[in-house]
C-alpha cells in the first residue's frame, strides 16, 4: 500500500520574537494621537502593504521634511532627533505611515552622520514630534522640534492625487463550492487521500464517533468502511476535530484524544487520550495550538499566551521574504485580531464569523482569507474572500451562500478550503470544498 500523500504548497516558519510594539489605534473617535515608537530602523517592509516603491510620495515628503529639519536645527541635536515620536492623524494606514516615517528616520540619521553629530552634554536635550496629518487638499507632514522652551515647526505637503495614483487595485475573485457529501451526524473534517499520483482519490471523513472512508462512484461519494473512535467521557457539545498528517499517516485530532488512522485493507483508528496538538494552519506547522479545554471549543497557542480563539489563519504572500508571517485569529468576543510580529494585536476586524481559513491560491499576490458571517447557527451562512491591504480587510469578491451555518472551515490543499454546513432545511451536515477562480 502506498503511503498517503498530502500536498503542501508552503512551509513558512513563524517567529514570535518581538521587540516592544504598541498597538495602533488609527481610528480613535476624536483627535487622540496614537504613537509609534519604533526604535529599530532596520525593519523590512511588511507584506500587508500593497507592493510599495521607495519613491512613494509620503516617504519622499518625509525625507524632504527631514532635510528641512536638519537644515534648520542645531547640528548638535540631530542625533537626538533620530528617534522621534511618530503620530499618524491621517487616513494613511499604519504600515504606510511606518514606512514613510522610517524614511524620515533614515534621512535624519544620515544628516546626523554628515554633520558629525555633537556631544550630548554640550547641547540642551531636544525632542521631535513627527505627525502625518491631512487637510482639504492633501497630506501634511509636520515636524515639531522642541528644545528647552523653544519650539520650531516644519511643514511639508503632499498632494492627494499623488497618493491616489500610488495605490494598486486588487483583482477580484469568484468563490465556487463543490458538494462532497451529507451526513446526519456532524462532519468534523474531511481529506482527500490519494493512493497514488493520478489515481482516484478517496475521501476520509472524521465524525465524532467514527472515521469513514468514501470512494467516488458516478460523481458521488459512496461509503467504503469505517472505524469507531474510542473515547472515554463525553465530547464537548460543540465538538471539533481535525485530520492532519501524523508521523506515519493521518492522525485524527479530537479534544483530548489522538487517533492514528491506518487505511490499509480495513480502516482502523487507534485512539489514546492525552494532550493533543492541532495543526490549524498547515502553513504554520510550528504553531501547535492545543484545545484550551477538552470540554470547550477554543484553542490557545503559546506565543499568544492565554488568548483563546476559535480559528487561526495565516496571511501569506508568495513573494514575501523575511521571517514573520502575520496571523489573524477569531476570538470568543466576536473580534478578529491581526498579529504581525507582536503578542499584541496590530488591528482588529469586526462583523466576522468565528470561522476563518486561508485559501492557498496561486494566482494572486496574497492568499485570500475566507471569512464566515457573524450570527448564530439559526441563520444561513456565507463565506467571503478578503485581502488584507494596509491592515484593512478589503473584500475581493462576492460571497457564496450556504443553506445553514458553517460548522467547520479548514484550510486544505492548494486552492481548497473544506466547509461543513448544517442545512437548516434538512438538518443534514453537508461538506463542501471551496475554491477560488480569479478574473484578472
Partner 1 sequence: MRRISFARYTTNSLLVALLFVAPATSAARRPRYGGTLKIDLQGRVTSLDPAQKQGSVTGQIAQDRLLELISDRLVKLDQFGEPKPALAISWQHNDRFTHWEFDLRPNVKFQNATPITSQAVANSLQAVNPGWHVTAANDSVAIESDSPSPEMLHVLAETKNSILLRQADGKILGTGAFRLTTWVSGKSAVFMANDDYWGGRPFVDSIDVQMGRTTRERMIDLDLGKADIADIAPDRARIDASRGVKISTFDPAELVALVFESSSTHARDIRIRHALSVAIDRASLVDFVFQKEGMPAGGLLPQWSSGYAFLFSVAPDPVAARQLASQISPVHALKVGYDAADPMERMIAERIAVNAQAVGFLISSRAISADSVAGTANRAANLTEYDARIVRLPMSSPAPGAALENFLQTLVQLGELEPSLAAPLNDPANPEQLYSRERAVVDSYEVIPLVHVPEVVGLSARVRDWMPARWGAWRISDVWLDGAPQ
Among 98, 102, 131, 298, binds partner 1 (CB under 8 A): 131
Give residues with Cβ within 8 angstroms of 21, minimum separation 6: 38, 341, 342, 344
Give the residues across from 369 on adjacent strands: 358, 386
Cα gap 216→220, rounded to integer Å: 5
Cell matching residue 70 = 536638519
If binding is defined by CB under 8 A, does position 147 make contact with partner 1? no
Residue 70 CB neighbours (<10 A): 18
Pair 187, 205: CB distance under 8 Å:
yes
* DSSP secondary structure letters along 145-177: EEETTEEEEEEEEEEHHHHHHH--PPPEEEEEE
Q: Which region, judged by CB under 8 A, interacts with partner 1, from 131-139, 319-327, 347-355, 378-386?
A: 131-139
Of 357, 389, 387, 354, the residue nearest 370 (C-alpha) = 357
Q: Which is nearer to partner 1, 30 or 53 (CB)?
A: 30
d(CA 437, CA 440): 10
CB of residue 21 vs partner 1: minimum separation in angstroms? 22
CA distance 281 to 292: 17
**Is residue 193 a contact residue for partner 1 (CB under 8 A)?**
no
Segment interacting with partner 1, rule: CB under 8 A, options 126-134, 172-180, 250-258, 286-294: 126-134
Assess 319 for contact with partner 1 (CB under 8 A): no
Q: Which pairing describes strands 85-88 and 126-134: parallel, antiparallel, or unpaired? A: parallel
Binding of partner 1 at residue 154 (CB under 8 A)? yes
Q: Which stretch binds partner 1 (CB under 8 A): 42-50, 138-146, 189-197, 235-243?
A: 138-146
Among 41, 127, 144, 288, binds partner 1 (CB under 8 A): 144
- Pair 299, 292: CB distance under 8 Å: yes
Contact between 30 and partner 1 by CB under 8 A: the answer reads yes
Nearer to partner 1, 146 or 288 (CB): 146
Q: Could you give phi then psi for residue 388, rounded to 5 degrees? A: -100, 105
Question: Does 133 help bind partner 1 (rule: CB under 8 A)?
Answer: yes
Contacting residue, 46, 59, 90, 324, with partner 1 by CB under 8 A? 90
Task: Tell me the CB-side half-sphere exposure of residue 425, using CA atoms within 13 A.
Answer: 3
DSSP 325: -
Applying CB under 8 A, among 160, 177, 335, 435 the residue interacting with partner 1 is 160
Q: Which stretch binds partner 1 (CB under 8 A): 53-61, 116-124, 152-160, 422-430?
A: 152-160
Residues 6+ apart with CB under 8 A from 325: 12, 13, 14, 283, 284, 314, 315, 316
Shortest distance, position 31 Cβ to partner 1, whole Å: 5
Choices 156-164, 223-231, 265-273, 299-307 (CB under 8 A): range interacting with partner 1: 156-164
In the complex, minimum distance from the CB of residue 196 to partner 1, in angstroms, rounded to a whole number: 54
Q: Is 101 in the site for partner 1 (CB under 8 A)?
A: no
Question: Per CB under 8 A, does 135 bind partner 1?
Answer: yes
152 binds partner 1, rule: CB under 8 A? no
Asked if residue 168 binds partner 1 (CB under 8 A), the reply is no
157 binds partner 1 (CB under 8 A): yes
Instruction: Output the smallest distance, CB 304 to partner 1, in A.
Output: 26
User: Which residue(s) pair with 237 in the sheet?
Assistant: none
Total of chain residues touching partner 1, rule CB under 8 A? 25
Report helix, strand or coil for 111: helix
Separation of alpha carbons 55 and 131, rounded Å: 19
**Please, what is the minimum distance in Å from the beta carbon of residue 99 to partner 1?**
18
Q: Which residues bind partner 1 (CB under 8 A)?
A: 27-31, 33, 89-91, 131, 133-137, 139-140, 142, 144, 153-155, 157, 160, 164
Amino acid at each position: 500500500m502506498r503511503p498517503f500523500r498530502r500536498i503542501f504548497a508552503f512551509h513558512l516558519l513563524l517567529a514570535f520574537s518581538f521587540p516592544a510594539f504598541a498597538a495602533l489605534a488609527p481610528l480613535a473617535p476624536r483627535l487622540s494621537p496614537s504613537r509609534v515608537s519604533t526604535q529599530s530602523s532596520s525593519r523590512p517592509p511588511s507584506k500587508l502593504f500593497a507592493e510599495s516603491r521607495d519613491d512613494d510620495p509620503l516617504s519622499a515628503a518625509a525625507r524632504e521634511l527631514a532635510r528641512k529639519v536638519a537644515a534648520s536645527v542645531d547640528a548638535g541635536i540631530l542625533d537626538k532627533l533620530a528617534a522621534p515620536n511618530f503620530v499618524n492623524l491621517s487616513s494613511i494606514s499604519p504600515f504606510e505611515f511606518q514606512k514613510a516615517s522610517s524614511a524620515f528616520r533614515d534621512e535624519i540619521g544620515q544628516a546626523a552622520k554628515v554633520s558629525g553629530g555633537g556631544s550630548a552634554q554640550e547641547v540642551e536635550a531636544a525632542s521631535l514630534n513627527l505627525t502625518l496629518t491631512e487637510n482639504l487638499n492633501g497630506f501634511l507632514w509636520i515636524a515639531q522640534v522642541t528644545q528647552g522652551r523653544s519650539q520650531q515647526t516644519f511643514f511639508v505637503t503632499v498632494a492627494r492625487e499623488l497618493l491616489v495614483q500610488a495605490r494598486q487595485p486588487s483583482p477580484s475573485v469568484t468563490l465556487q463550492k463543490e458538494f462532497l457529501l451529507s451526513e446526519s451526524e456532524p462532519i468534523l473534517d474531511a481529506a482527500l487521500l490519494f493512493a497514488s499520483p493520478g489515481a482516484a482519490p478517496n475521501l476520509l471523513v472524521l465524525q465524532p464517533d467514527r472515521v469513514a472512508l468514501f470512494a467516488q462512484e458516478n460523481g458521488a461519494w459512496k461509503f467504503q468502511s469505517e472505524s469507531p473512535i474510542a473515547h472515554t467521557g463525553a465530547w464537548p457539545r460543540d465538538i471539533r476535530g481535525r485530520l492532519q498528517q501524523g508521523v506515519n499517516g493521518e492522525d485524527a485530532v479530537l479534544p483530548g484524544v489522538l487517533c492514528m488512522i491506518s487505511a490499509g485493507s480495513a480502516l482502523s483508528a487507534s485512539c489514546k487520550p492525552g494532550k493533543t496538538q492541532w495543526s490549524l494552519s498547515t502553513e504554520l506547522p510550528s504553531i501547535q495550538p492545543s484545545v484550551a479545554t477538552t470540554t470547550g471549543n477554543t484553542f490557545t497557542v503559546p506565543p499568544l499566551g492565554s488568548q483563546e480563539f476559535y480559528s487561526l489563519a495565516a496571511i501569506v504572500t508568495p513573494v514575501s521574504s523575511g521571517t514573520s508571517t502575520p496571523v489573524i485569529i477569531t476570538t470568543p468576543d466576536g473580534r478578529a485580531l491581526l498579529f504581525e510580529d507582536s503578542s499584541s494585536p496590530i488591528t482588529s476586524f469586526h462583523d466576522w464569523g468565528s470561522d476563518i481559513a486561508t485559501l492557498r491560491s496561486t494566482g494572486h499576490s496574497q492568499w485570500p482569507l475566507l471569512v464566515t458571517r457573524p450570527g448564530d447557527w439559526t441563520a444561513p451562512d456565507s463565506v467571503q474572500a478578503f485581502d488584507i491591504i494596509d491592515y484593512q480587510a478589503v473584500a475581493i469578491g462576492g460571497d457564496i451562500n450556504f443553506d445553514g451555518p458553517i460548522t467547520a472551515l479548514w484550510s486544505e490543499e492548494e486552492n481548497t478550503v473544506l466547509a461543513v454546513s448544517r442545512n437548516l432545511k434538512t438538518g443534514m451536515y453537508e461538506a463542501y470544498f471551496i475554491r477560488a477562480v480569479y478574473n484578472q
